[in-house]
Amino acid sequence: MLPDTAVRLYYCFLQLGVGLKSKALDRSRSRDDLGAALAKTVWRTTLLNQVIVLAYLLNVPPDRLVRWYRQG
């Protein structure tokens, strides 16, 4: 048998419409938007890093590479 407070709490949840098997709300669109933004950021960072490496190999001064990286 459940304690009296647990029973009262359960009935309060029922009155609020919260059952034991209530479904969680899912915002799949916002999650998809976040995934697309994250993928775009990853590609952008990868491209920037490749440009920095190429510029380094072409003897671009390191202080300029730092500025490019911080601006990027």
pLDDT number for residue 4 = 73
User: Residue 54 and residue 60: Cα distance in Å, rounded?
Assistant: 9
Residue 25 included in any domain: no
Residue 56 included in any domain: yes
Structural domain for 61, as ranges: 46-72
The per-residue pLDDT for range 25-51, each reduced to its tens digit, is 556 666 667 777 788 888 888 999 999
Contact 51, 68 (CB under 8 A): yes
Is the model's pLDDT at 62 over the cut of 80?
yes
Residue 71 included in any domain: yes
> What's the DSSP call for residue 59?
T
Q: How many domains does the chain have?
A: 1
Q: Can you tell me the mean pLDDT for 10-32? A: 61
> Per-residue confidence at 60, pLDDT binned at 50, 70, 90?
very high
Is the model's pLDDT at 20 over the cut of 60?
no
> What's the DSSP call for residue 23?
P
Q: Please, what is the average pLDDT of the chain? A: 76
Residue 54 included in any domain: yes
Residue 68 included in any domain: yes
